[in-house]
A and B are shown apart, each in its own frame.
Chain A
Amino acid sequence: MAKSIDVSDLNIYYGDFLAVEGVNISIKARAVTALIGPSGCGKSTFLRSLNRMHEVIPGARAEGKVMVDGQDLYASDVDPVAVRRQIGMVFQRPNPFPTMSIYENVLAGKRLNAKKLKKSEADDLVEKSLRGANLWTEVKDRLGKPGMGLSGGQQQRLCIARAIAVEPEVLLMDEPCSALDPISTAAIEDLIHDLKSDYTIVIVTHNMQQAARVSDDTGFFNLRATGEPGQLVEFNPTKKMFTNPDNESTESYISGRFG
Protein backbone atom coordinates (compact mmCIF):
# COMPACT_ATOMS: atom_id res chain seq x y z
CA MET A 1 0.00 0.00 0.00
CA ALA A 2 2.83 2.37 0.80
CA LYS A 3 3.80 4.63 -2.09
CA SER A 4 6.89 6.54 -3.02
CA ILE A 5 6.79 10.27 -3.70
CA ASP A 6 8.71 12.02 -6.45
CA VAL A 7 8.87 15.76 -6.26
CA SER A 8 10.29 17.80 -9.11
CA ASP A 9 10.87 21.56 -9.34
CA LEU A 10 8.35 22.39 -6.66
CA ASN A 11 7.87 26.09 -5.88
CA ILE A 12 5.51 27.02 -3.08
CA TYR A 13 4.06 30.51 -2.80
CA TYR A 14 2.09 32.43 -0.21
CA GLY A 15 0.48 35.05 -2.41
CA ASP A 16 3.41 36.64 -4.25
CA PHE A 17 5.94 35.47 -1.71
CA LEU A 18 8.02 32.50 -2.83
CA ALA A 19 8.41 30.45 0.35
CA VAL A 20 10.10 27.33 -0.97
CA GLU A 21 12.01 27.13 -4.23
CA GLY A 22 12.95 24.36 -6.61
CA VAL A 23 12.61 21.24 -4.50
CA ASN A 24 13.60 17.94 -6.13
CA ILE A 25 13.36 14.92 -3.92
CA SER A 26 12.57 11.21 -4.12
CA ILE A 27 10.93 9.85 -1.02
CA LYS A 28 11.17 6.08 -0.72
CA ALA A 29 8.21 3.87 0.10
CA ARG A 30 8.25 2.01 3.43
CA ALA A 31 10.95 4.24 4.80
CA VAL A 32 11.18 7.22 7.11
CA THR A 33 12.34 10.47 5.59
CA ALA A 34 13.26 13.24 8.01
CA LEU A 35 13.29 16.92 7.10
CA ILE A 36 15.50 19.15 9.23
CA GLY A 37 16.55 22.78 9.10
CA PRO A 38 16.30 26.06 10.96
CA SER A 39 12.92 27.67 11.75
CA GLY A 40 11.25 29.39 8.83
CA CYS A 41 13.21 27.51 6.19
CA GLY A 42 10.09 26.04 4.62
CA LYS A 43 10.32 22.42 5.72
CA SER A 44 6.82 22.45 7.26
CA THR A 45 5.47 24.29 4.25
CA PHE A 46 7.01 21.67 2.00
CA LEU A 47 5.58 18.86 4.13
CA ARG A 48 2.12 20.38 3.96
CA SER A 49 2.40 20.72 0.19
CA LEU A 50 2.70 16.92 0.01
CA ASN A 51 -0.97 16.50 0.89
CA ARG A 52 -2.07 19.97 -0.21
CA MET A 53 -2.77 21.05 3.36
CA HIS A 54 -0.90 24.31 2.78
CA GLU A 55 -3.81 25.36 0.56
CA VAL A 56 -5.85 25.88 3.73
CA ILE A 57 -4.02 29.20 4.06
CA PRO A 58 -5.57 31.77 1.69
CA GLY A 59 -3.30 32.65 -1.20
CA ALA A 60 -1.07 29.58 -0.82
CA ARG A 61 -0.30 27.66 -4.00
CA ALA A 62 2.33 25.41 -5.49
CA GLU A 63 3.93 24.98 -8.89
CA GLY A 64 5.74 21.88 -10.00
CA LYS A 65 5.12 18.18 -9.77
CA VAL A 66 4.44 15.91 -6.83
CA MET A 67 4.06 12.39 -8.18
CA VAL A 68 2.64 9.71 -5.92
CA ASP A 69 2.61 6.37 -7.65
CA GLY A 70 2.50 7.97 -11.08
CA GLN A 71 -0.30 10.38 -10.20
CA ASP A 72 0.46 14.11 -10.04
CA LEU A 73 -1.16 15.56 -6.89
CA TYR A 74 -1.33 18.97 -8.52
CA ALA A 75 -2.95 17.86 -11.78
CA SER A 76 -5.97 20.00 -12.53
CA ASP A 77 -8.46 17.15 -12.14
CA VAL A 78 -7.22 16.12 -8.68
CA ASP A 79 -9.37 17.06 -5.71
CA PRO A 80 -7.33 18.07 -2.64
CA VAL A 81 -9.89 16.28 -0.47
CA ALA A 82 -9.08 13.00 -2.24
CA VAL A 83 -5.35 13.65 -1.86
CA ARG A 84 -5.73 14.08 1.89
CA ARG A 85 -7.62 10.82 2.18
CA GLN A 86 -4.59 9.05 0.73
CA ILE A 87 -1.94 11.05 2.55
CA GLY A 88 -2.58 11.42 6.27
CA MET A 89 -1.08 13.97 8.57
CA VAL A 90 -0.12 14.26 12.24
CA PHE A 91 0.40 17.72 13.65
CA GLN A 92 2.73 19.43 16.05
CA ARG A 93 0.16 19.69 18.83
CA PRO A 94 -2.08 16.68 19.46
CA ASN A 95 -5.51 17.62 18.11
CA PRO A 96 -8.12 14.97 18.90
CA PHE A 97 -11.67 16.25 18.41
CA PRO A 98 -12.55 17.58 21.87
CA THR A 99 -16.23 16.58 21.92
CA MET A 100 -15.62 13.02 20.72
CA SER A 101 -14.76 9.89 22.65
CA ILE A 102 -11.57 7.95 21.98
CA TYR A 103 -13.62 5.48 19.95
CA GLU A 104 -15.27 8.15 17.82
CA ASN A 105 -11.99 9.97 17.30
CA VAL A 106 -10.44 6.89 15.74
CA LEU A 107 -13.44 6.46 13.45
CA ALA A 108 -13.80 10.14 12.49
CA GLY A 109 -11.94 9.84 9.21
CA LYS A 110 -13.44 6.48 8.31
CA ARG A 111 -16.95 7.80 8.83
CA LEU A 112 -16.25 10.46 6.22
CA ASN A 113 -15.22 7.88 3.65
CA ALA A 114 -17.52 4.96 4.25
CA LYS A 115 -21.24 5.45 4.15
CA LYS A 116 -22.23 3.05 6.86
CA LEU A 117 -20.05 1.08 9.20
CA LYS A 118 -21.29 -2.05 10.93
CA LYS A 119 -20.77 -2.12 14.68
CA SER A 120 -18.48 -5.14 14.49
CA GLU A 121 -16.46 -3.63 11.64
CA ALA A 122 -16.15 -0.39 13.56
CA ASP A 123 -15.00 -2.22 16.71
CA ASP A 124 -12.42 -4.16 14.73
CA LEU A 125 -11.11 -1.05 13.02
CA VAL A 126 -10.82 0.84 16.31
CA GLU A 127 -8.90 -2.00 17.90
CA LYS A 128 -6.65 -2.47 14.90
CA SER A 129 -5.87 1.23 14.62
CA LEU A 130 -5.25 1.68 18.34
CA ARG A 131 -3.04 -1.39 18.39
CA GLY A 132 -1.24 0.02 15.36
CA ALA A 133 -0.64 3.19 17.33
CA ASN A 134 0.56 1.30 20.46
CA LEU A 135 -2.31 2.74 22.45
CA TRP A 136 -4.76 -0.16 22.70
CA THR A 137 -3.67 -1.60 26.05
CA GLU A 138 -3.72 1.83 27.68
CA VAL A 139 -7.22 2.83 26.55
CA LYS A 140 -9.14 -0.37 25.83
CA ASP A 141 -11.16 -0.02 29.04
CA ARG A 142 -12.17 3.58 28.44
CA LEU A 143 -12.94 3.86 24.74
CA GLY A 144 -16.08 5.84 25.51
CA LYS A 145 -14.21 8.53 27.45
CA PRO A 146 -13.27 11.83 25.78
CA GLY A 147 -9.98 11.83 23.88
CA MET A 148 -9.01 15.06 25.61
CA GLY A 149 -8.72 13.17 28.91
CA LEU A 150 -5.57 11.39 27.76
CA SER A 151 -2.02 12.61 28.37
CA GLY A 152 -0.32 14.62 25.64
CA GLY A 153 1.64 11.64 24.38
CA GLN A 154 -1.43 9.41 24.38
CA GLN A 155 -3.39 12.10 22.54
CA GLN A 156 -0.69 12.22 19.89
CA ARG A 157 -0.84 8.43 19.49
CA LEU A 158 -4.62 8.72 19.28
CA CYS A 159 -4.14 11.17 16.42
CA ILE A 160 -1.83 8.69 14.74
CA ALA A 161 -4.44 5.96 15.23
CA ARG A 162 -7.03 8.28 13.69
CA ALA A 163 -4.74 8.95 10.74
CA ILE A 164 -3.95 5.27 10.05
CA ALA A 165 -7.59 4.21 10.48
CA VAL A 166 -8.31 5.57 6.99
CA GLU A 167 -5.45 3.42 5.67
CA PRO A 168 -3.46 6.14 3.96
CA GLU A 169 -0.54 5.47 1.67
CA VAL A 170 1.68 8.07 3.22
CA LEU A 171 1.87 9.52 6.73
CA LEU A 172 3.17 13.05 7.15
CA MET A 173 4.28 14.16 10.61
CA ASP A 174 4.89 17.80 11.40
CA GLU A 175 7.11 17.91 14.51
CA PRO A 176 4.95 15.27 16.18
CA CYS A 177 7.01 15.20 19.39
CA SER A 178 7.78 18.86 19.95
CA ALA A 179 4.96 19.26 22.48
CA LEU A 180 5.76 16.00 24.31
CA ASP A 181 7.98 14.93 27.18
CA PRO A 182 10.95 12.57 26.56
CA ILE A 183 9.07 9.41 27.58
CA SER A 184 6.13 10.11 25.28
CA THR A 185 8.62 11.07 22.58
CA ALA A 186 10.32 7.69 22.92
CA ALA A 187 6.94 5.98 22.60
CA ILE A 188 6.17 7.88 19.39
CA GLU A 189 9.60 7.14 17.98
CA ASP A 190 9.13 3.42 18.63
CA LEU A 191 5.78 3.69 16.91
CA ILE A 192 7.30 5.42 13.87
CA HIS A 193 9.77 2.57 13.66
CA ASP A 194 6.89 0.02 13.68
CA LEU A 195 4.76 1.95 11.19
CA LYS A 196 7.62 2.05 8.70
CA SER A 197 6.86 -1.48 7.55
CA ASP A 198 3.43 -0.43 6.28
CA TYR A 199 3.65 3.25 5.47
CA THR A 200 5.78 5.83 3.80
CA ILE A 201 6.59 8.32 6.53
CA VAL A 202 7.83 11.87 6.19
CA ILE A 203 8.67 13.63 9.43
CA VAL A 204 9.66 17.23 10.09
CA THR A 205 11.72 17.61 13.23
CA HIS A 206 13.78 20.19 15.04
CA ASN A 207 15.47 17.49 17.02
CA MET A 208 18.51 16.22 15.18
CA GLN A 209 18.98 13.24 17.44
CA GLN A 210 15.43 12.28 16.58
CA ALA A 211 16.13 12.54 12.87
CA ALA A 212 19.23 10.40 13.36
CA ARG A 213 17.30 7.83 15.42
CA VAL A 214 14.20 7.34 13.32
CA SER A 215 14.96 8.13 9.70
CA ASP A 216 16.50 6.33 6.75
CA ASP A 217 16.94 9.45 4.64
CA THR A 218 17.31 13.04 5.72
CA GLY A 219 16.70 16.28 3.86
CA PHE A 220 18.24 19.53 5.04
CA PHE A 221 16.36 22.75 4.26
CA ASN A 222 17.90 26.17 4.59
CA LEU A 223 17.53 29.80 3.56
CA ARG A 224 20.30 31.49 1.63
CA ALA A 225 19.48 34.67 3.54
CA THR A 226 16.55 36.13 5.44
CA GLY A 227 13.70 36.95 3.06
CA GLU A 228 15.00 34.52 0.44
CA PRO A 229 13.02 31.37 -0.32
CA GLY A 230 13.83 28.13 1.48
CA GLN A 231 15.64 25.43 -0.44
CA LEU A 232 16.46 21.78 -0.09
CA VAL A 233 20.20 21.99 0.44
CA GLU A 234 21.04 18.34 0.73
CA PHE A 235 19.21 15.04 0.63
CA ASN A 236 21.07 11.86 1.49
CA PRO A 237 20.82 8.68 3.55
CA THR A 238 20.68 9.65 7.21
CA LYS A 239 23.91 7.84 8.04
CA LYS A 240 25.82 9.84 5.48
CA MET A 241 24.13 13.12 6.48
CA PHE A 242 25.22 12.75 10.07
CA THR A 243 28.75 11.49 9.45
CA ASN A 244 29.96 12.86 6.17
CA PRO A 245 27.53 15.36 4.59
CA ASP A 246 28.23 16.66 1.10
CA ASN A 247 27.40 20.23 1.92
CA GLU A 248 29.31 22.49 4.24
CA SER A 249 26.24 24.24 5.64
CA THR A 250 24.65 20.87 6.43
CA GLU A 251 27.66 20.02 8.48
CA SER A 252 27.64 23.32 10.37
CA TYR A 253 23.93 22.93 11.10
CA ILE A 254 24.19 19.35 12.27
CA SER A 255 27.22 20.02 14.40
CA GLY A 256 25.38 22.88 16.06
CA ARG A 257 27.32 25.80 14.64
CA PHE A 258 24.10 27.61 13.65
CA GLY A 259 20.32 27.24 13.69
Chain B
Amino acid sequence: MSVTDPETDLQPIGSTSRAGDTIFRGLATASAVVIVLALAGVAAFLLAQGLPALDGAGARSYGYDNIWVYTGPLLFGTLLASVIAMIVATPLAIGVALIISHYAPRRFAKGLGWLIDLLAAIPSVIFGMWGIEFVARNMVPVYNWLNDYLGFIPLFAGPVPTSGRTMMTAGLVLGVMALPIITAICREIFAQTPVMHQEAALALGATRWEMIRLAVFPYASSGMVSAILLGLGRALGETMAVALVLSPSIVVSFNLLTAESGSSSSTIAANIALNFGNASGSKVDALIFTGLVLFVITFAVNFLGRWVAARAVKKG
Protein backbone atom coordinates (compact mmCIF):
# COMPACT_ATOMS: atom_id res chain seq x y z
CA MET B 1 0.00 0.00 0.00
CA SER B 2 1.53 3.33 -0.95
CA VAL B 3 0.53 6.42 0.93
CA THR B 4 1.69 9.67 -0.64
CA ASP B 5 2.20 12.37 1.86
CA PRO B 6 2.10 15.92 0.49
CA GLU B 7 4.44 17.12 3.21
CA THR B 8 7.33 15.07 1.89
CA ASP B 9 6.96 16.63 -1.53
CA LEU B 10 6.71 20.21 -0.34
CA GLN B 11 9.16 20.24 2.51
CA PRO B 12 9.70 23.78 3.75
CA ILE B 13 13.26 24.94 4.19
CA GLY B 14 14.53 24.51 7.69
CA SER B 15 11.91 21.90 8.58
CA THR B 16 13.00 19.51 11.29
CA SER B 17 11.11 16.51 9.89
CA ARG B 18 13.19 13.45 9.09
CA ALA B 19 12.63 10.70 6.59
CA GLY B 20 12.29 8.26 9.51
CA ASP B 21 9.34 10.20 10.94
CA THR B 22 7.53 10.18 7.63
CA ILE B 23 8.09 6.47 7.06
CA PHE B 24 7.03 5.54 10.57
CA ARG B 25 3.93 7.66 10.40
CA GLY B 26 3.07 6.12 7.05
CA LEU B 27 3.54 2.61 8.42
CA ALA B 28 1.50 3.29 11.52
CA THR B 29 -1.34 4.83 9.53
CA ALA B 30 -1.26 1.94 7.09
CA SER B 31 -1.46 -0.59 9.92
CA ALA B 32 -4.45 1.18 11.39
CA VAL B 33 -6.16 1.27 8.00
CA VAL B 34 -5.46 -2.44 7.43
CA ILE B 35 -7.13 -3.35 10.73
CA VAL B 36 -10.24 -1.37 9.90
CA LEU B 37 -10.31 -2.86 6.39
CA ALA B 38 -9.92 -6.40 7.75
CA LEU B 39 -12.83 -5.96 10.14
CA ALA B 40 -14.96 -4.35 7.46
CA GLY B 41 -13.96 -7.12 5.07
CA VAL B 42 -15.03 -9.85 7.47
CA ALA B 43 -18.33 -8.13 8.12
CA ALA B 44 -18.92 -7.58 4.39
CA PHE B 45 -18.08 -11.22 3.62
CA LEU B 46 -20.44 -12.52 6.30
CA LEU B 47 -23.24 -10.26 5.10
CA ALA B 48 -22.72 -10.97 1.39
CA GLN B 49 -22.41 -14.73 1.83
CA GLY B 50 -24.69 -15.19 4.81
CA LEU B 51 -27.73 -13.07 4.00
CA PRO B 52 -28.73 -15.10 0.90
CA ALA B 53 -29.32 -18.00 3.31
CA LEU B 54 -32.34 -16.10 4.61
CA ASP B 55 -34.28 -17.60 1.65
CA GLY B 56 -34.03 -20.93 3.46
CA ALA B 57 -32.48 -22.95 0.66
CA GLY B 58 -29.48 -23.93 2.73
CA ALA B 59 -31.55 -24.84 5.73
CA ARG B 60 -33.89 -26.94 3.57
CA SER B 61 -30.98 -28.86 2.15
CA TYR B 62 -30.06 -29.70 5.75
CA GLY B 63 -33.67 -30.73 6.27
CA TYR B 64 -35.05 -27.71 8.17
CA ASP B 65 -37.93 -25.43 7.18
CA ASN B 66 -36.10 -22.15 7.35
CA ILE B 67 -32.82 -20.67 8.43
CA TRP B 68 -34.03 -19.67 11.90
CA VAL B 69 -35.07 -23.19 12.76
CA TYR B 70 -31.53 -24.18 11.83
CA THR B 71 -29.69 -21.34 13.56
CA GLY B 72 -31.83 -21.06 16.68
CA PRO B 73 -30.84 -24.32 18.38
CA LEU B 74 -27.17 -23.71 17.58
CA LEU B 75 -27.38 -20.26 19.06
CA PHE B 76 -29.07 -21.75 22.10
CA GLY B 77 -26.31 -24.35 22.45
CA THR B 78 -23.64 -21.68 22.10
CA LEU B 79 -25.18 -19.58 24.86
CA LEU B 80 -25.78 -22.61 27.10
CA ALA B 81 -22.16 -23.80 26.85
CA SER B 82 -20.90 -20.26 27.47
CA VAL B 83 -23.14 -19.75 30.48
CA ILE B 84 -21.88 -23.00 32.04
CA ALA B 85 -18.36 -21.84 31.28
CA MET B 86 -18.95 -18.51 33.01
CA ILE B 87 -20.58 -20.11 36.05
CA VAL B 88 -17.51 -22.30 36.43
CA ALA B 89 -14.86 -19.76 35.49
CA THR B 90 -16.04 -16.60 37.27
CA PRO B 91 -15.70 -17.64 40.92
CA LEU B 92 -12.50 -19.52 40.14
CA ALA B 93 -10.99 -16.58 38.27
CA ILE B 94 -11.91 -14.09 40.99
CA GLY B 95 -10.49 -16.42 43.61
CA VAL B 96 -7.22 -16.90 41.76
CA ALA B 97 -6.97 -13.17 41.03
CA LEU B 98 -7.45 -12.40 44.74
CA ILE B 99 -4.81 -14.94 45.71
CA ILE B 100 -2.40 -13.30 43.32
CA SER B 101 -3.21 -9.71 44.26
CA HIS B 102 -3.88 -9.93 47.99
CA TYR B 103 -3.14 -13.26 49.62
CA ALA B 104 -0.07 -15.00 48.29
CA PRO B 105 3.48 -13.91 49.07
CA ARG B 106 4.80 -11.87 46.19
CA ARG B 107 7.12 -14.47 44.68
CA PHE B 108 4.50 -17.22 44.70
CA ALA B 109 1.90 -14.83 43.28
CA LYS B 110 4.18 -13.98 40.39
CA GLY B 111 4.64 -17.65 39.53
CA LEU B 112 0.94 -18.34 39.75
CA GLY B 113 0.11 -15.38 37.52
CA TRP B 114 2.64 -16.64 35.03
CA LEU B 115 1.07 -20.11 35.05
CA ILE B 116 -2.39 -18.67 34.44
CA ASP B 117 -1.05 -16.65 31.52
CA LEU B 118 0.47 -19.85 30.19
CA LEU B 119 -2.98 -21.42 30.24
CA ALA B 120 -4.05 -18.83 27.68
CA ALA B 121 -1.25 -19.91 25.38
CA ILE B 122 -2.37 -23.53 25.09
CA PRO B 123 -3.87 -24.17 21.61
CA SER B 124 -7.57 -24.87 21.79
CA VAL B 125 -7.30 -28.19 19.97
CA ILE B 126 -5.25 -29.43 22.93
CA PHE B 127 -7.99 -28.30 25.28
CA GLY B 128 -10.39 -30.26 23.09
CA MET B 129 -8.39 -33.47 23.36
CA TRP B 130 -7.92 -32.92 27.07
CA GLY B 131 -11.69 -32.44 27.24
CA ILE B 132 -12.43 -35.79 25.56
CA GLU B 133 -9.71 -37.86 27.09
CA PHE B 134 -9.47 -36.47 30.58
CA VAL B 135 -12.33 -34.21 31.65
CA ALA B 136 -15.10 -36.23 30.00
CA ARG B 137 -13.93 -39.58 31.36
CA ASN B 138 -13.15 -38.36 34.85
CA MET B 139 -16.37 -36.45 35.17
CA VAL B 140 -18.56 -39.47 34.43
CA PRO B 141 -18.88 -40.47 38.11
CA VAL B 142 -19.80 -36.88 38.98
CA TYR B 143 -22.38 -36.82 36.22
CA ASN B 144 -23.81 -40.13 37.40
CA TRP B 145 -24.06 -38.75 40.91
CA LEU B 146 -25.79 -35.59 39.68
CA ASN B 147 -28.12 -37.74 37.57
CA ASP B 148 -28.93 -40.06 40.47
CA TYR B 149 -29.70 -37.36 42.99
CA LEU B 150 -30.75 -34.37 40.90
CA GLY B 151 -32.04 -36.21 37.83
CA PHE B 152 -35.56 -34.92 38.48
CA ILE B 153 -34.30 -31.50 37.35
CA PRO B 154 -34.39 -31.59 33.53
CA LEU B 155 -30.85 -30.15 33.45
CA PHE B 156 -29.47 -33.32 34.94
CA ALA B 157 -31.67 -35.93 33.28
CA GLY B 158 -29.94 -39.04 31.92
CA PRO B 159 -28.78 -41.28 30.51
CA VAL B 160 -25.18 -40.31 31.10
CA PRO B 161 -22.94 -41.56 28.27
CA THR B 162 -19.92 -43.60 29.30
CA SER B 163 -17.73 -41.33 27.18
CA GLY B 164 -18.82 -38.35 29.27
CA ARG B 165 -18.85 -36.17 26.17
CA THR B 166 -21.73 -33.91 27.14
CA MET B 167 -22.72 -30.27 27.16
CA MET B 168 -21.44 -30.07 30.74
CA THR B 169 -17.99 -31.26 29.64
CA ALA B 170 -17.93 -28.72 26.84
CA GLY B 171 -18.91 -25.99 29.29
CA LEU B 172 -16.23 -27.05 31.79
CA VAL B 173 -13.52 -27.03 29.13
CA LEU B 174 -14.68 -23.62 27.90
CA GLY B 175 -14.61 -22.40 31.49
CA VAL B 176 -10.96 -23.39 31.85
CA MET B 177 -10.22 -21.67 28.56
CA ALA B 178 -11.93 -18.44 29.61
CA LEU B 179 -10.19 -18.52 33.01
CA PRO B 180 -6.94 -16.75 32.01
CA ILE B 181 -8.53 -13.68 30.48
CA ILE B 182 -10.92 -13.15 33.40
CA THR B 183 -8.15 -13.77 35.93
CA ALA B 184 -5.72 -11.44 34.20
CA ILE B 185 -8.15 -8.53 34.08
CA CYS B 186 -9.45 -9.03 37.63
CA ARG B 187 -5.91 -9.34 38.99
CA GLU B 188 -4.96 -6.10 37.30
CA ILE B 189 -7.93 -4.23 38.76
CA PHE B 190 -7.66 -5.73 42.24
CA ALA B 191 -4.02 -4.67 42.36
CA GLN B 192 -5.01 -1.11 41.43
CA THR B 193 -7.34 -0.67 44.40
CA PRO B 194 -6.14 2.52 46.11
CA VAL B 195 -4.04 1.71 49.17
CA MET B 196 -5.81 4.43 51.15
CA HIS B 197 -9.16 2.65 50.89
CA GLN B 198 -7.66 -0.68 51.85
CA GLU B 199 -5.98 0.97 54.84
CA ALA B 200 -9.25 2.65 55.77
CA ALA B 201 -10.86 -0.78 56.05
CA LEU B 202 -7.94 -2.39 57.88
CA ALA B 203 -7.74 0.48 60.37
CA LEU B 204 -11.38 -0.14 61.29
CA GLY B 205 -10.41 -3.65 62.29
CA ALA B 206 -11.35 -5.45 59.10
CA THR B 207 -9.90 -8.88 58.46
CA ARG B 208 -8.35 -9.38 55.05
CA TRP B 209 -11.56 -10.78 53.60
CA GLU B 210 -13.62 -7.97 55.14
CA MET B 211 -11.15 -5.48 53.68
CA ILE B 212 -11.60 -7.07 50.26
CA ARG B 213 -15.38 -6.78 50.58
CA LEU B 214 -15.26 -3.20 51.86
CA ALA B 215 -12.58 -1.74 49.61
CA VAL B 216 -11.53 -4.03 46.78
CA PHE B 217 -14.82 -5.36 45.40
CA PRO B 218 -16.66 -2.02 45.29
CA TYR B 219 -13.69 -0.47 43.53
CA ALA B 220 -13.34 -3.37 41.08
CA SER B 221 -16.99 -4.24 40.45
CA SER B 222 -17.36 -2.76 36.98
CA GLY B 223 -13.96 -4.08 35.99
CA MET B 224 -15.06 -7.54 37.10
CA VAL B 225 -18.19 -7.29 34.97
CA SER B 226 -16.20 -6.29 31.95
CA ALA B 227 -13.69 -9.10 32.60
CA ILE B 228 -16.53 -11.62 32.70
CA LEU B 229 -17.99 -10.25 29.47
CA LEU B 230 -14.62 -10.46 27.72
CA GLY B 231 -14.27 -14.04 28.96
CA LEU B 232 -17.76 -14.74 27.68
CA GLY B 233 -16.71 -13.36 24.30
CA ARG B 234 -13.93 -15.90 24.21
CA ALA B 235 -16.17 -18.78 25.27
CA LEU B 236 -18.83 -17.92 22.68
CA GLY B 237 -16.47 -18.07 19.75
CA GLU B 238 -14.39 -21.04 20.85
CA THR B 239 -14.50 -23.78 18.25
CA MET B 240 -12.11 -26.67 18.45
CA ALA B 241 -12.63 -27.65 22.05
CA VAL B 242 -16.39 -27.89 21.61
CA ALA B 243 -16.19 -29.48 18.17
CA LEU B 244 -14.08 -32.28 19.58
CA VAL B 245 -16.22 -32.86 22.65
CA LEU B 246 -19.75 -32.62 21.25
CA SER B 247 -21.37 -34.38 18.35
CA PRO B 248 -23.19 -31.98 16.05
CA SER B 249 -26.93 -31.78 16.42
CA ILE B 250 -29.60 -29.17 15.81
CA VAL B 251 -31.74 -29.30 18.90
CA VAL B 252 -32.74 -27.11 21.80
CA SER B 253 -32.05 -29.10 24.92
CA PHE B 254 -31.39 -28.03 28.47
CA ASN B 255 -30.02 -31.45 29.12
CA LEU B 256 -26.42 -31.07 30.25
CA LEU B 257 -25.52 -34.67 30.98
CA THR B 258 -26.55 -36.75 28.02
CA ALA B 259 -25.25 -37.34 24.52
CA GLU B 260 -28.19 -39.27 23.06
CA SER B 261 -28.62 -37.99 19.52
CA GLY B 262 -31.35 -35.39 19.43
CA SER B 263 -31.14 -34.54 23.11
CA SER B 264 -27.95 -32.53 23.42
CA SER B 265 -27.31 -29.10 21.93
CA SER B 266 -24.24 -28.10 19.99
CA THR B 267 -22.67 -24.70 19.33
CA ILE B 268 -22.46 -22.51 16.23
CA ALA B 269 -18.69 -22.57 16.04
CA ALA B 270 -18.43 -26.33 16.47
CA ASN B 271 -21.20 -26.92 13.96
CA ILE B 272 -19.40 -24.84 11.34
CA ALA B 273 -16.12 -26.60 11.99
CA LEU B 274 -17.66 -30.06 11.67
CA ASN B 275 -19.83 -29.37 8.61
CA PHE B 276 -18.00 -26.79 6.55
CA GLY B 277 -15.60 -29.26 4.92
CA ASN B 278 -18.27 -31.24 3.11
CA ALA B 279 -20.76 -28.43 2.55
CA SER B 280 -21.41 -26.86 -0.83
CA GLY B 281 -23.74 -24.35 -2.47
CA SER B 282 -26.60 -23.16 -0.31
CA LYS B 283 -25.37 -25.23 2.64
CA VAL B 284 -22.26 -23.04 2.76
CA ASP B 285 -24.50 -19.98 2.85
CA ALA B 286 -26.46 -21.41 5.75
CA LEU B 287 -23.28 -22.10 7.71
CA ILE B 288 -21.94 -18.64 6.96
CA PHE B 289 -25.21 -17.17 8.16
CA THR B 290 -24.77 -18.93 11.53
CA GLY B 291 -21.30 -17.44 11.54
CA LEU B 292 -22.78 -13.99 11.01
CA VAL B 293 -25.06 -14.51 14.00
CA LEU B 294 -22.07 -15.55 16.12
CA PHE B 295 -20.07 -12.55 14.89
CA VAL B 296 -22.82 -10.15 15.87
CA ILE B 297 -23.17 -11.68 19.33
CA THR B 298 -19.46 -11.84 20.17
CA PHE B 299 -19.07 -8.32 18.84
CA ALA B 300 -21.90 -7.11 21.03
CA VAL B 301 -20.56 -8.88 24.13
CA ASN B 302 -17.05 -7.54 23.63
CA PHE B 303 -18.38 -4.08 22.97
CA LEU B 304 -20.52 -4.21 26.10
CA GLY B 305 -17.51 -5.37 28.14
CA ARG B 306 -15.37 -2.50 26.94
CA TRP B 307 -18.19 -0.03 27.40
CA VAL B 308 -18.64 -1.06 31.04
CA ALA B 309 -14.88 -0.78 31.58
CA ALA B 310 -14.68 2.62 29.91
CA ARG B 311 -17.62 3.93 31.90
CA ALA B 312 -15.93 2.83 35.12
CA VAL B 313 -12.75 4.68 34.19
CA LYS B 314 -14.68 7.87 33.56
CA LYS B 315 -16.56 7.53 36.82
CA GLY B 316 -13.63 6.62 39.03
Contacts and interface: CB of A to CB of B under 8 A. Distances in A.
B219 to A, nearest CB: 7
B261 interface: no
A100 B203 CA distance: 17
Q: Mostly helix, strand, loop or mixed at chain B's interface?
A: helix
B203 A53 contact: yes
Given A97-B215, A98-B219, A89 B203 contact: yes
Interface stretch (A18-26, A79-87, A243-251): A79-87
A225 interface: no
Interface stretch (B163-171, B204-212, B300-308): B204-212
B311 interface: no
A109 B202 contact: no
A93 B194 CA distance: 12
Interface string A204-243: 0000000000000000000000000000000000000000
Given A58-B106, A108-B214, A95 B197 contact: yes
Contacts of B218: 97-100
A95 B204 contact: no
A97 B205 CA distance: 15
Given A98-B218, A108-B214, A53 B199 contact: yes
Contacts of B197: 95, 97-98
A253 interface: no
A159 B203 CA distance: 11
A112 B202 CA distance: 11
B43 interface: no
Contacts of A153: none
Interface in B188-225: 194, 196-207, 210, 214-215, 218-219
Contacts of B204: 84-85, 88, 108-109, 112, 162-163, 166
Contacts of A100: 218
Given A97-B214, A97-B215, A98-B219, A159 B200 contact: yes
A112 B201 CA distance: 10
A95 B196 contact: yes
Contact of B205 (A56, A85, A96, A98): A85
Given A97-B215, A112-B210, A91 B196 contact: yes
B196 A93 contact: yes
Contacts of A81: 205-207
A249 to B, nearest CB: 31
Contacts of A166: 204-205
Contacts of B105: 58
A124 B215 CA distance: 25
B205 A84 contact: yes
Interface in A71-115: 81-82, 84-86, 88-89, 91, 93, 95-100, 108-109, 112-113
A51 interface: yes
Contacts of A96: 200
Interface residues of A, number: 27
A88 to B, nearest CB: 7
Contact of B203 (A51, A93, A98, A113): A51
Interface string B97-116: 00000000110000000000
Contacts of A99: 218-219
A166 to B, nearest CB: 6
Interface in B147-205: 194, 196-205
Contacts of A159: 200
Contacts of B202: 53, 56, 84
B199 A91 contact: yes
Which of B197, B200, B205 has the largest number of chain A CB atoms within 10 A? B205
A247 to B, nearest CB: 32
A88 B205 CA distance: 8
A89 B199 CA distance: 9
B196 A112 contact: no
A174 B215 CA distance: 20
A78 B246 CA distance: 56
Contacts of B210: 112
A100 B219 CA distance: 11
B206 A112 contact: yes
Contacts of A82: 205
A23 B297 CA distance: 65
B106 A109 contact: no
B196 A163 contact: no
Contacts of A93: 196
Contacts of A88: 203-204
18 contacts: A53-B199, A53-B202, A56-B198, A56-B199, A81-B207, A82-B205, A84-B202, A84-B203, A85-B205, A89-B199, A91-B196, A91-B200, A97-B214, A109-B204, A112-B210, A113-B205, A163-B203, A166-B205
Given A97-B215, A166-B205, 4 more contacts: A56-B198, A81-B206, A89-B203, A113-B205
Interface of B: 105-106, 194, 196-207, 210, 214-215, 218-219, 316
Closest 9 CB pairs of A and B: A85-B205, A109-B204, A89-B203, A99-B218, A95-B196, A95-B200, A84-B205, A81-B207, A112-B210
